[in-house]
Chain A
């Protein structure tokens, strides 16, 4: 049976090409792999290999022809025993299926799924509240989860014998042993990849980056390997892993060690991104992160590690991912923040309330998925919003929240949404410049005054 040889597509974008040269003539025998022609595309001259064996029965497009469309028959291959005369009698085997039709209004993707998080669990009336540091909260979260699930292990630099560069893993080696609390060499790219691979195989790694500045070495595995895996595998392989460590500006450590990566990770589909402020949120959300079947980027803040907050004394205190916390209810203006930004926002709220402004203060806690429902409900009530964060202003979390408010609550706004962010500069070392580069409570107060037209 004769087979048509078609003008091949030789690159993802090729639509037509020139048939530069035939290397076979009619009557030649070819086997699979033989070069039969040369084709010029806009990028290169390519050789065309025969993909079947047979005899070149007829050449349909002469050499030197220009603009030959992809999939146009260029020659006919016949089998041994057939003659050229058979070609017309034999109906060529249909080798080309119709190309998929372009998607034009034919089908519509359903809209992105909205994420409806659960509410915070109700605390028992008689619950005891204890003051602990964020450090202790994180440590307890890991220890409690590791006690109940042997598949959880922690790896990172200085997490075991040194007891953690910031002492977050203090005592874990003693309790869980070196099999589950693993000191790695200084090799972020490598151990992040090893962690993701172990997660593919079903373990539940906690990968500690001493700080997220060093996770830049490993960001390929966080995004390309972990975040995209479930989607690329059609739902077959997930990566239940937590990447955690200190994020954001520390103190006087200069540009390479002071950066907030929140918006970088929050942009990536497939990741969960959590950035808690209080010890209770740090504990409840880290436990949720470890239990999550998804890859979670858990952004802590070095300057908050030693700060004490009230935490309910419960055996199983887990908070919902994707739910903002309304820290203070108010009617005049909404202040939205997360992580260390909450410090400036809280201080500003105190001053503003004292001055008679009824502030509603929201801690986002989770940055992906963003709990816009809580934010929008608040803004529809107050009509004004100021967003506070330490990260750079361009393409920031505040930019995103602001854009969504504009899209979904435009008619409710009585003033433009304002952003108070870190300044658009690498972090300077000098104490005075560093202070200037960071947001502060006075800037937040000024912004609130502006949107409430009090200034």
Chain B
């Protein structure tokens, strides 16, 4: 399980988990689950398009995910956000389907892009994943305070001279980047679950961001590690275990607190 050809997967998976736990915290805080669901689809289209043109898939994913992020955040400013997000999502997915059909890929490759595979990470792919991961972490650390304020109290942030629109564009691009690096491992349709599950569970345990963020990263790491191991042992798709892990974790957290909340009330 820890042999040569899986080492890259363990490293890439861990980086993805750290970034997902960190960025995901703000996704849950800002209530942008739908955005986090939509952008990976853009990455899928980008990967398919780049393969068609013979380019590096990660380049295509970056361009499409960031482009999608900019489209959603600028169009969503004037129009209705959920409508724009939904439409951007389907247009990107449909483009992905077009690129794939033009390129006559095997459906196994489509499947890997959508649902992830653990054997897909080569040494050449590892470097961009690490670099993008570092960029995401640095971006969150630098913009931590304004991002937090604008997410929780948008009016107050605006009063302090923070551009909430600028920040929402910044955040959308951040989610786009986090998505780009994760698609080769977790898959376009399922990255979303890693962005929402661990942070949502972490926020059940602590409202303090400085505690919830490490907890969220920890949860994400455990889920990814367990999923890689399970996928290796069972040879089922890794994305299935990631979503299952997220759901179990969140469900267990909700259940635990539902019981805990009932006890003092009864006493």
Our verdict on whether A and B bind, yes or no, reads no
Residues of B within 8 A of A (CB): none
